[in-house]
Amino acid sequence: MRSTLLVVSLALLSSAVFAIRLLPHDTTHFGPLVPSPSHLSSYMHSHLRSPISSTDDMSTVLYKFVSAASDFAWSILDSSVEVEESDSEATILRGNPSEKKSQKTKSTAQEFPYWQFIPTTAGKVIPDGAQVTWQGMCFTESSAKATTSNSSILLTITLAKPKTLLCSDSFLIADVAQISLHTYTTHGDKQITWTLPSNLTSADLWDLHTNGLRIFMFAEEITTIAVSVTDTALLFEPLATKAVGESAAARNMEFLSKYAHIPMTKRNITDVKLNASDINSGDFFGVVRLDGLDPMLGWAMGSTTGHTTIALRDANTGVLYVCESTAKSSYWDTNGIQCTPYDTWFDKAKAASYNVVHLPLAPEYRAAFNETAAWNWFRTVEGLDYGYETLLWGWVDTVSDNYPCLPPDFNRCLSWDIINVLFPVGSKIVTQFTMLWKQAFNHRLGTSDLEFADMMQVATSQGIEVDTIPTLIEQDSWTYATTRNGQPAVGPSMVCCVFVCTMWKVSGMFGALGDQINCEELTNWDDYSMLVFDKDYVRPQACVEADPTNEVCQILGEYTLNLNNYNSKAPYPHIAEHCPSLAPNYNKPADC
**pLDDT, tens digit, 9 for 90 and up, residues 495-514:** 999 999 999 999 999 999 99
Is the Cβ–Cβ distance between 524 and 324 less than 8 Å? no
In a domain, 312, yes or no: yes
Cross-strand pairs, 272: none
With cut-offs at 50, 70 and 90, classify the pLDDT of residue 394.
Answer: confident
75 and 171 housed in the same domain:
yes
d(CA 275, CA 551): 19
In a domain, 17, yes or no: yes
Q: Indicate if the pLDDT at residue 8 is higher than 80.
A: no
CA distances from 298 to 167, 258, 306 (A): 35, 12, 6
pLDDT of residue 65: 58
226 and 306 housed in the same domain:
no
Helix locations, 399-539, DSSP H:
416-429, 438-445, 452-461, 496-506, 524-529
228 and 257 housed in the same domain:
no
224 and 363 housed in the same domain:
no
pLDDT of residue 75: 55
pLDDT of residue 580: 97
CB contact set of 475 (below 8 Å; sequence gap of 6+) = 443, 518, 520
In a domain, 574, yes or no: no
Q: Indicate if the pLDDT at residue 399 is higher than 80.
A: yes
Calculate mean pLDDT across residues 126-130: 98
212 and 325 housed in the same domain:
no
In a domain, 34, yes or no: yes
- Tell me the torsion sign for CA atoms 386, 578, 439, 404: negative
Q: Which domain holds residue 525?
A: 252-391+496-556
With cut-offs at 50, 70 and 90, classify the pLDDT of residue 108.
Answer: confident
In a domain, 421, yes or no: no
271 and 209 housed in the same domain:
no
Last residue of a domain, one of 190, 205, 234: 234
Calculate mean pLDDT across residues 30-46: 41
User: pLDDT of 376-389, one tens digit each?
Assistant: 999 999 999 999 99
387 and 289 housed in the same domain:
yes
Q: What is the CATH number of the domain that holds 534?
A: 3.90.1720
The domain total for the chain is 2
pLDDT of residue 72: 54
Q: Helix, strand, or coil here: 126?
A: coil
d(CA 117, CA 219): 8
Q: Where is mean pLDDT largest: 5-14, 37-46, 350-359?
A: 350-359
With cut-offs at 50, 70 and 90, classify the pLDDT of residue 430.
Answer: confident
d(CA 325, CA 354): 16
In a domain, 374, yes or no: yes
Mean pLDDT, the chain, rounded, equals 87
pLDDT of residue 454: 98
Which comes out higher in pLDDT, residue 188 or 71? 188
Q: Indicate if the pLDDT at residue 48 is higher than 60.
A: no
528 and 385 housed in the same domain:
yes
With cut-offs at 50, 70 and 90, classify the pLDDT of residue 71.
Answer: low
Q: Indicate if the pLDDT at residue 120 is higher than 80.
A: yes
With cut-offs at 50, 70 and 90, classify the pLDDT of residue 116.
Answer: very high
pLDDT of residue 137: 96
pLDDT of residue 152: 96
131 and 224 housed in the same domain:
yes
CB contact set of 468 (below 8 Å; sequence gap of 6+) = 399
In a domain, 455, yes or no: no
Is the Cβ–Cβ distance between 519 and 300 less than 8 Å? no
pLDDT of residue 60: 61
Strands 213-217 and 169-174 turn out to be: antiparallel
49 and 75 housed in the same domain:
yes
227 and 363 housed in the same domain:
no
User: pLDDT of 271-287, one tens digit each?
Assistant: 999 999 999 999 999 99
User: pLDDT of 147-204, one tens digit each?
Assistant: 998 899 999 999 999 999 999 999 999 999 999 999 999 999 999 999 999 999 999 9
In a domain, 192, yes or no: yes
pLDDT of residue 591: 86
Q: Indicate if the pLDDT at residue 370 is higher than 60.
A: yes
With cut-offs at 50, 70 and 90, classify the pLDDT of residue 136.
Answer: very high
308 and 377 housed in the same domain:
yes
With cut-offs at 50, 70 and 90, classify the pLDDT of residue 88.
Answer: very low
